Amino acid sequence: MLVRPTTRPLLLARPSATLLFTYYVPRRRFTTNNAQPRETPKFRSAYSLLVASLASGALGYFVSSWNNAEAIPTTPKYGSPKDYEQAILELQLTFAGRDDVVSTDPEDLRIHGRSEYDYLPDCLHSVVVYPDSTEDVVKIVKIATKYRMPITPYSGATNLEGHTRGHSSGGICIDLSGMKRIIEIHEADSDIVCQPGIGWVEINDDLARKGIPLFFPIDPAPGATIGGMLSTGCSGTNAVRYGTSKGEWFLNATVVLPSGEVIKTRRRSRKSSAGFDTTKLFIGAEGTLGIVTEVTIRLAPVLPTSVAVVQFPDVRKATEAVREIINQGVGIQCIELVDAEFMRATNIYGQSRRKWPEKDGLFIKLQGHTQQSIMDSAKVVKKLAEKHGGTGFEFAKNGKEAADLWDDRKNAHFAGLSLVPGAKGWATDVCVPVSKLPDLVYQTKEDLKNLGLVTTIVGHVGDGNFHALILFNNEEEQAKTKQAVSRMVKRAIALDGTCTGEHGVGIGKKDYLIEELGEGTVELMKTIKRAIDPLGLFNPGKLYPDTPTKDKGNNN
């Protein structure tokens, strides 16, 4: 595969400090270099000429950059329906001879333009394309650009905020789920190179089958894939031990930019201080800056684990116990808060092997180098839980029981939905400093109770992140849910938290970004977007708030 570094400078929307820096640095070097000949009149005039020409070049570039920046549309202009027809024809011609790469099958379009998992209306793409390689992706991007057609990456499709919906004018859905090869396994380096469509579960199963005692510890929905995980900046139950996608788990990414250029963000070494972290630019970018076609991920050693459960009088007591347990530094891999309503849902869902007490509680995955060290940790956890009012502490007797217990926690989404048959679920994702979590949970529960909405709560309590799954059955309940979610987010932000701890922004959260991050930060994000994707074709309508920041308009 051809991968070359970016040489073309990125065009900033306005002349910026970066441009000024570029032009002044050589001059400063020239004047301070002791090895330069002493200034003679002749040299001085040559020098003046050089400075003048540099200055005028800089000015010319500066002005032309300014003009070009002005030429970048603040509101993207997409192709006409006729252009889109032409683009689809060209896609079909490009991939002629290969089966099932380009699809306009209505069922395919329907599947890709909706989601089982969220509350947002369907919005269909015009065509779905299934690439096999980076080269395929480049071809598709070039056609999208030629016909100014929006292009939305799609992979595991487990996003929860409408991330992969089509654009209202139509567009190309690029489904990368077929690009799922593990390209290289470097056991000695604890990393693998893979395509973006492979799931974290598939990777871990494959490593286990091969007898390699390593795993990828970021664990969102079981169907999530590496490309989608990188692009949402996700995490999961393991985050309290291993951190999130925004940590150092993605060592590098190969990315097709909107220009069609292929870049690799860095090499495979564990560390690099070579400039700023361009891999991170794409983590959480939700497919708006580039399409990831290859990734190197870091792996962790598989350690023995077991599971414990314990009930508490209330959420506050459970959270206080968690704080103390974590501060002991015992081997905790996951520590999950569940509320009484969730335990009731688990009983109704009927997949569990046991009947649960319907009380607030914790599911805890303990980790250690040996069974003995896990047992030692369990003793500390039990003692601290009981100190905070914990009862019914239970420690799995064997691996099978541990897996069964953990499945009950992992089935949260579907168990929650079973409380109101036929209902849709609105999954929220606020995150606050851990000590603030009980306040937020109580205020949220009170609010939802007053509205008469059925809700379950599970939380990555060690990270201050919790999910309320709010159920609604009709438009009136959906409207109430929307208002309640908005209040919940505002409360979280007021507590120095975030509207999304791990699910990402998509369509559903973009209106909260300015309040959370401030205008300047959002404008910086938009400036980067405009620089990399001046035509605004990559996953438009997601991530960036519709509200104009300063005077720059939108470039969604």
Ligand X SMILES: Cc1cc2nc3c(=O)[nH]c(=O)nc-3n(C[C@H](O)[C@H](O)[C@H](O)COP(=O)(O)OP(=O)(O)OC[C@H]3O[C@@H](n4cnc5c(N)ncnc54)[C@H](O)[C@@H]3O)c2cc1C
Position 500 contacts ligand X (CB under 6 A)? no
| The only residue of 136, 502, 516, 533 in contact with ligand X, by rule CB under 6 A | 502
Position 287 contacts ligand X (CB under 6 A)? yes
The Cα 51–Cα 283 span in angstroms is 41
**In terms of CB distance, is 229 or 535 closer to ligand X?**
229
| The only residue of 65, 103, 134, 231 in contact with ligand X, by rule CB under 6 A | 231
Contact set for ligand X, span 209-228 (CB under 6 A): 220-221, 224-225, 227-228
Query: Distance between terminal CA atoms of the chain?
Result: 31
| The only residue of 69, 102, 291, 385 in contact with ligand X, by rule CB under 6 A | 291
How many C-alpha atoms does 472 have within 13 Å on its Cβ side? Answer: 22
C-alpha separations of 505 from 408, 472, 513 in Å: 27, 21, 8
Position 484 contacts ligand X (CB under 6 A)? no
Pairing type for strands 151-154 and 172-175 reads: parallel
- Dihedral angle computed from the Cα positions of residues 224, 228, 234 and 239, in that order, rounded to the nearest 10 degrees: 50
- Tell me, residue by residue from 348 to 377, as one string, x for binding to ligand X by CB under 6 A and - for no binding: ------------------------------
Position 510 contacts ligand X (CB under 6 A)? no
In the beta sheet, which residues pair with residue 401?
none
Position 155 contacts ligand X (CB under 6 A)? yes
Contact 340, 360 (CB under 8 A): yes
**In terms of CB distance, is 6 or 16 closer to ligand X?**
6
In the beta sheet, which residues pair with residue 379?
none
**In terms of CB distance, is 413 or 480 closer to ligand X?**
413
Closest distance of CB 21 from ligand X, Å: 30
Position 425 contacts ligand X (CB under 6 A)? no
**In terms of CB distance, is 69 or 307 closer to ligand X?**
307
- Tell me, residue by residue from 110 to 129, as one string, x for binding to ligand X by CB under 6 A and - for no binding: -------x------------
The Cα 114–Cα 119 span in angstroms is 10
Q: Which stretch binds ligand X (CB under 6 A): 1-9, 155-163, 327-335, 478-486?
A: 155-163
Q: Tokens 């030629």 sit at which residue?
A: 146
The Cα 513–Cα 234 span in angstroms is 17
| The only residue of 126, 134, 158, 259 in contact with ligand X, by rule CB under 6 A | 158
**In terms of CB distance, is 115 or 306 closer to ligand X?**
115
Question: From the CA atom positions of the chain, what is the Rg in Å?
Answer: 26
Position 402 contacts ligand X (CB under 6 A)? no
**In terms of CB distance, is 368 or 462 closer to ligand X?**
462
| The only residue of 241, 365, 413, 509 in contact with ligand X, by rule CB under 6 A | 413
Position 79 contacts ligand X (CB under 6 A)? no
**In terms of CB distance, is 19 or 430 closer to ligand X?**
430
Closest distance of CB 537 from ligand X, Å: 13
Sequence-ordered strand ranges (E) for 42-100: none
The Cα 401–Cα 236 span in angstroms is 21
- Strand ranges across the sheet with 305-311: 391-395, 305-311, 361-367, 332-338, 455-460, 465-472, 424-427
Position 160 contacts ligand X (CB under 6 A)? yes
Q: Which of 530, 2, 9 is nearest to 256 (CA)?
A: 2
The Cα 231–Cα 285 span in angstroms is 5
**In terms of CB distance, is 223 or 389 closer to ligand X?**
223
Report DSSP letters for 285-337, one per residue.
Answer: -TTSS-EEEEEEEE-EE---EEEEEEE-SSHHHHHHHHHHHHHTT--EEEEEE
**In terms of CB distance, is 125 or 382 closer to ligand X?**
125
The 10 Å CB-count burial string (b at 16+, else e) for 359-375 is bbbbbbbbbbeeeebbe
Contact 431, 465 (CB under 8 A): yes
Position 539 contacts ligand X (CB under 6 A)? yes
Position 159 contacts ligand X (CB under 6 A)? yes
Position 157 contacts ligand X (CB under 6 A)? yes
Contact set for ligand X, span 255-274 (CB under 6 A): none
Q: Give me the residue whose beta carbon is nearest to ligand X.
A: 228
Q: Which two tokens stand for residue 59?
A: 């000015």
Q: Which stretch binds ligand X (CB under 6 A): 37-45, 159-167, 261-269, 515-523?
A: 159-167
**In terms of CB distance, is 91 or 257 closer to ligand X?**
257
Position 229 contacts ligand X (CB under 6 A)? yes
Binding site for ligand X (CB under 6 A): 117, 152-160, 163-164, 176, 196, 220-221, 224-225, 227-229, 231-232, 234-236, 286-287, 291-292, 413, 502-504, 539, 542
